[in-house]
A and B are shown apart, each in its own frame.
Chain A
């Protein structure tokens, strides 16, 4: 069963391969809507915007907000500032919220008895179980230059995958350390068990540039697939590619 839900300025897809109640699905989507309301930078009335304008004290903020900010702060320190929840003196948690919310939605589904599903929140996805007995979830990575093409298909199994790029919503991902736009990579995909981590790391690695993939793998054990401006794909860590793809192996450069 495939359900879609518009939220967070994007479309969330839920591919369910097991039977669950409609209430559970609704509750999962509700988590995403709530996060949208709380953290959206496009809504002036969101809690995050109010906090950013100084209309709200941090002690009075919701536990969810404080947790996201705490996570954002931790990732900022871990990445040496390449990832940051601050942009141009305003709070912007877009690099973490979607993954964090989708991760919580997925945990809710699991707690509610869902065994086999794929939740894709606008390109950040998390899987559980299998699409069918004997198969494992396979996720393609979009080609940044052509929406209809894929860079490759990963045999994901159970896990999370998030991709960062500057090609969709038009903004530039900024390297928090320098303030400048990062152009080392044109697309970064991170595989991790946790979608929050994957989402943040995808942004952080993109912002960090060349040392990003290594850092992500070292600190978090994640696998990173990064496409550079010349069209060269870098793979750091263990990635299982799906069979039946037309790969050509380059040789060493």
Chain B
């Protein structure tokens, strides 16, 4: 291969490798890494869009870690995470501190922080259920009726 195209070829090979690696990373997935990761905060970010960087490091007091101020596309957002051992048991989104950042956040997407694999295990006390209005018949099949009949 003549010299002048070697650089381009090398670039093409590298980009192919990068793409394959990214695809592999997506398939392997595992945000679970973060649950077991260091108390440095989980990386918050904006919704389905440009990945943002997180900055700073978190502080922890006991089991509740107030995460780093995450730089999201809307400005800084702070997340407080409670661990039970290495498992996260609660996540609270604190308001973004800066007015400007908050305003931006508010006019655009919300911040997705939790995956759907959220399981409200039976250990969480549930006093009542909110859902789209069920019919009377639907009520009977609902968890609400189970709660109502047990209280």
Contacts and interface: CB of A to CB of B under 8 A. Distances in A.
Q: Do chains A and B touch in the complex (CB under 8 A)?
A: yes
Interface of A: 1-2, 4, 6, 9-11, 13, 15, 98, 118, 120, 122-125, 127, 131, 135, 137-142, 144, 147-153, 161-169, 187, 189, 210-211, 213-215, 217-218, 224, 226-227, 231-253
Q: What range describes how many residues of B lie at the interface?
A: 35 or more
B110 A234 contact: yes
B40 interface: no
A134 B121 CA distance: 21
A232 B110 CA distance: 11
23 contacts: A13-B128, A15-B128, A138-B125, A140-B143, A142-B131, A147-B142, A153-B125, A211-B107, A214-B105, A214-B106, A215-B106, A232-B116, A233-B112, A233-B118, A236-B111, A239-B93, A242-B124, A244-B125, A246-B119, A247-B118, A248-B114, A250-B115, A252-B51
A125 B127 CA distance: 11
A251 B126 contact: no
A120 B110 contact: no
A152 B148 contact: no
A224 B109 CA distance: 11
Contacts of A140: 120, 124, 126, 128-130, 143
A121 B119 CA distance: 25
